[in-house]
Structure 1
Amino acid sequence: AALPAFPSPDFLRECRRGFAKGRKSKDDDSANTTQVVEDIGPVVKSTASSQMEAALDALSRELTKLRTGRASTGMLDHIIVETSGVKMNLNRIALVTIIDSKTLSITPYDSDTIKELEKAIVSSPLGLNPKVDGQRLIAVVPPLTKEHIQAMCKVVAKSSEDVKQSIRRARQKALDTIKKAGYPKDSAKKLEKEIDELTKKFVKSAEDMCKAKEKEISLG
């Protein structure tokens, strides 16, 4: 899905005109300036927030793909299964449930796809070897090796850095937009501070997500 864009040059030009009109009349200056800040401020903040949220969503999907030593229903979601010439995510064609902390049950909505499901899971990098059990598959999640834990933690660290860069890019775009808008100095500083606070909040969320995943991996 396309990310929201920051205000267009035409919108910014209208803002600058609003400021210019305000300066012609001292009586109207305050009202005009306030109105323009209210017009563009929420747009800039909501756009930056949406872009940062999208970066966090992408991080969440990446972290879900990483296997830990415990069974989770989401660990198979990203696996692509080809059935009847059509490729789909596994969670679209099967119900995944947890039998216990180390065992998953994968029940296809169409029993004819069980072989394709088995092949896709075995081919994935998760290291699972499911067995057919009537109309479903049973997959035991093997314990992680020390090497696997180290490798997974490196992937988490890289994902963390990537998402923080995306969040900071959204911040920079917002600051550039504020600069181009021709804001009065005080109004610009206030909005920039709000964007910085937003950035800190999302960066912390990303760090917390990654720390939680590293802990989950390390516990096996």
Structure 2
Amino acid sequence: MAVFLRRALISSKPLFYALRTASINSHKTFSYLSSSYFVSSHETVAVDGFVSSPATIFSQFNTRRGFAKGRKPQIKKEVEEEEEEEDEEEEYETKVEDEKGVDVGLRAKATALSQMNAAIDSLSRELTKLRTGRASSGMLDHIMVEQYGVKTPLSRIAVVSVLDPKTLAVTPYDSNALKELEKAIISSPLGLNPKPDGQRLITPIPPLTKEHMQAVCKVVAKSSEDVKQSIRRARQKAFETIKKAAPKKDKDSKDKKDKDKKDKKNKEKDKKDEGPTITEDDAKRLEKEIDDLTKKFIKTAEDMCKAREKEIRGG
């Protein structure tokens, strides 16, 4: 019997080692499958003959639950930060729209000022062209001189100087253009008769006849009216631009209530369609400033025309 048991133990020894190896491998596999996170350790650990250096310690699924709970304050913080950023963006957009509105008004004023200045400059050139009883160095500037088949303003090819209240001297830069200058001055509607004097032309200014004086005064009056209309048109255009940018008034309280009921999305869409706006106070202030400029430029035009008419009449 003892011999039989000994033989049985010897024969079952390989099976024992096989079962032990399978148990160790099963333990390792279960550890991997039943864990989700692991932490590295610098200590050497031995488990059933399996040695790991540095060892890997596995944590169970319950650690994930604890991590998820810890994220709630972080998510809440991120939401609050996003809301703060949206508020800041909305405030910035409102500020930009206000600045755009002010820019629209200032641009309208600047454009009107530029147009009014241009109208006064044009009037000055027109009045200079008119012949008066006194000699003026600019009264010949508008005359076109044909030279080498090209028409050029007299002021670009000659110098005009006043010798006395009744005489002009015209000196060309190129002496070869003297004949062309003489021809152009004679053919102009000023009624002048220049005479060659060496390398220049002496142009006497004859006294105006009564009929010619009246005709010139009519031209001055028409020029005055034209420039005033140009100035008023510049004012009107500026007013229209400001009116478009200014907030629109409701017709009655019912319309106002209906407008207040609109949701935020529709209001933002309407605001984009309307473009930049300015406040009612800014609109009134700009309109007053432009109106003051209009009066100032109209008075300047009237004073210029009166002074020119006085010269024409010999006053």
TM over 0.5: yes
Aligned-partner residue type, residue 177 of structure 1: T
In the TM superposition, residue 184 of structure 1 has moved relative to its aligned partner by 2.8
Tell which structure's C-alpha radius of gyration is larger: 2
Aligned-partner residue type, residue 147 of structure 1: E
Aligned-partner residue type, residue 201 of structure 2: L
1:193 aligns with 2:257: no
Aligned-partner residue type, residue 210 of structure 1: C
Aligned-partner residue type, residue 101 of structure 1: P
CA distance in 2, matches of 1:180, 1:42: 14
In the TM superposition, residue 190 of structure 1 has moved relative to its aligned partner by 1.3
Alpha-carbon contact 1:37-1:187 (below 8 Å) kept: no
Aligned-partner residue type, residue 198 of structure 1: L
Alpha-carbon contact 1:102-1:140 (below 8 Å) kept: yes
- Written as runs of structure 1 = structure 2, the 5 A alignment for 1:10-49 is 35-49=99-113
- Written as runs of structure 1 = structure 2, the 5 A alignment for 1:153-172 is 153-172=217-236
Alpha-carbon contact 1:72-1:104 (below 8 Å) kept: yes
Aligned-partner residue type, residue 312 of structure 2: I
Partner deviation per Cα, 1:51-86 (whole Å, 9 max, x = no partner): 111111111110000000111110100000001111
1:104 aligns with 2:168: yes
Match among 301, 305, 310 for residue 210 of structure 1: 305
For 2:124, the equivalent position in structure 1 comes to 60
| Equivalent pairs, count | 196
Aligned-partner residue type, residue 51 of structure 1: Q
Aligned-partner residue type, residue 208 of structure 2: L
CA distance in 1, matches of 2:183, 2:100: 59
CA distance in 2, matches of 1:95, 1:184: 54
For 1:9, the equivalent position in structure 2 comes to none
Aligned-partner residue type, residue 159 of structure 1: S
> Which structure 2 residue ranges, 5 or more long, are not aligned?
1-86, 247-277
Alpha-carbon contact 2:131-2:139 (below 8 Å) kept: yes
In the TM superposition, residue 185 of structure 1 has moved relative to its aligned partner by 2.3
CA distance in 1, matches of 2:210, 2:299: 28
Alpha-carbon contact 2:127-2:308 (below 8 Å) kept: yes
Alpha-carbon contact 1:77-1:89 (below 8 Å) kept: yes
Aligned-partner SS, 1:128: coil
Aligned-partner SS, 1:197: helix
CA distance in 2, matches of 1:72, 1:49: 29
Q: Please, what TM-score do these two structures have when normalized by structure 2?
A: 0.59
Aligned-partner SS, 2:139: helix
For 2:150, the equivalent position in structure 1 comes to 86
CA distance in 1, matches of 2:288, 2:208: 44
Aligned-partner SS, 2:304: helix
In the TM superposition, residue 195 of structure 1 has moved relative to its aligned partner by 1.0
In the TM superposition, residue 40 of structure 1 has moved relative to its aligned partner by 2.2
In the TM superposition, residue 32 of structure 1 has moved relative to its aligned partner by 6.4
In the TM superposition, residue 33 of structure 1 has moved relative to its aligned partner by 7.4
CA distance in 1, matches of 2:141, 2:305: 19
Match among 125, 139, 146 for residue 203 of structure 2: 139
Alpha-carbon contact 2:101-2:245 (below 8 Å) kept: no
